[in-house]
Amino acid sequence: MRPPAYQQLADELRAEITSGRLQPGERLPPEPELCVKIGVSRSTVREALRLLASQHLIVTTRGVTGGSFVAHPDATQLADSLSTGFALLTHSAAVGFADLLELRRALEVPAAGLAALRRDDSHLLELRSALFDPAIDDFDTMMAAHSAFHRAMAKATGNPLFELVGRPLYQVSYGEEVIGDLPEGYWVRIDADHRAILACLTDGDAEGARRAAAAHLDYIAETVR
């Protein structure tokens, strides 16, 4: 069964964008031109453009100089598209918590080393803001802070690909349905680990940051089943 015409047009334009043939900021052909070129109605073109806009691939502006333009990549927005895939996999039999930790180890240990070398004062401030107090903060607050800390560390690498992959990973791997019951003292240790990693980043100690990140993941692997 052939997909609807608007889906076919959206797929063609998406391929142009993701291949780099249409660059960020570049204007797409006007709607009437697309109608003639593709041989579809204006309503079909508009539906295709709405679909691409919902996927953060284009932005549409009004006015004399308006039109549809290829969006500049934004790691936060693009990560939202990955979150659905991560969530579906983690709720299937194909992927377990150990698989998520394996991916985290592949990303976070080198990311910690890069962050120690590349972080600036704004990154350190964001990391400090993501610390929590296990003595007074509730469960939801600590889970949110944990995710925010690791997203901030990914950002501090200066490589947006770490942020792109990390954002949905931290959202999924720390859902309550994945973690289950936690041992006593778990959040005290997580807080201590975060502070140890932050200290290494502050000192610019790449090797120490990698060791602290690895120890952090070792503890999670040993205690969370």
pLDDT at res. 61: 85
pLDDT at res. 20: 85
Higher pLDDT, 200 or 24: 200
Question: At residue 41, what are phi and psi to the nearest 5 degrees?
Answer: -80, 165
Higher pLDDT, 52 or 87: 52
Question: Whole-number mean pLDDT of the chain?
Answer: 86
Of 223, 147, 163, 166, residue with least CA distance to 189: 223
Stretch(es) of the chain classified as CATH 1.20.120.530: 75-224
pLDDT at res. 177: 45
pLDDT at 181 over 80: no
| Predicted TM-score of the model (pTM) | 0.69
Contacts (Cβ under 8 Å, ≥6 apart) of 224: 97, 179, 180, 182, 186
pLDDT at res. 84: 67
Q: Which residue has the tokens 């180890």?
A: 105
Stretch(es) of the chain classified as CATH 1.10.10.10: 5-70
pLDDT at res. 178: 46
Q: State pLDDT tens for residues 69-87.
A: 998 877 666 666 666 666 6
Q: State pLDDT tens for residues 92-117.
A: 666 777 888 898 999 999 999 999 99
pLDDT at 197 over 60: yes
pLDDT at 147 over 60: yes
Superfamily of domain 75-224 in the CATH hierarchy: GntR ligand-binding domain-like (1.20.120.530)
The answer to whether the beta carbons of residues 197 and 119 sit under 8 Å apart is no
Higher pLDDT, 203 or 8: 203
Instruction: Give domain 5-70's CATH architecture.
Output: Orthogonal Bundle (1.10)
First to last CA, the chain: 44
